[in-house]
């Protein structure tokens, strides 16, 4: 049951210019569940990618305000995690 909870913690990798720049420093960026804690994120990364996690930093991203045909709306808030892995280890986010 605990593994099922950990598998739902990591939602998707974030691929952007900034996230590819920080990969040089052994950091990887993931979209995570809003209720995820740093310890849960570290355990989930270790379970999924079989790497040792050195540090986890999180930040809450506020959803953008958008209009659709004069109806005001807002995208959902989400949580982002920066995961640093130990020296000499890497996470392969590409399919190859």
* Structural domain 2-85, CATH architecture: 2-Layer Sandwich (3.30)
Q: 62: which residues sit within 8 A by CB, 6+ positions away?
A: 77
Structure confidence at residue 83 (pLDDT): 97
Element (H, E) at 12: strand 10-13
What pLDDT tens digit does each residue of the chain (96 aa) get? 578 888 899 999 999 999 889 988 999 999 999 999 999 999 999 999 999 999 999 999 999 999 988 899 999 999 999 999 999 999 988 754
């Amino acid at each position: 049951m605990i593994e099922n909870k950990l598998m739902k913690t990591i939602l998707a990798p974030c691929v952007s210019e900034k996230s590819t720049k920080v990969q040089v420093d052994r950091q990887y960026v993931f979209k995570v569940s809003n209720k995820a804690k740093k310890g849960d994120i570290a355990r989930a990364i270790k379970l999924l990618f079989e790497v040792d996690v050195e540090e986890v930093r999180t930040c809450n991203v506020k959803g953008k305000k958008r209009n659709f045909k004069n109806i005001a709306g807002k995208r959902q808030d989400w949580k982002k995690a920066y995961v640093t892995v130990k020296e000499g280890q890497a996470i392969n986010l590409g399919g190859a």
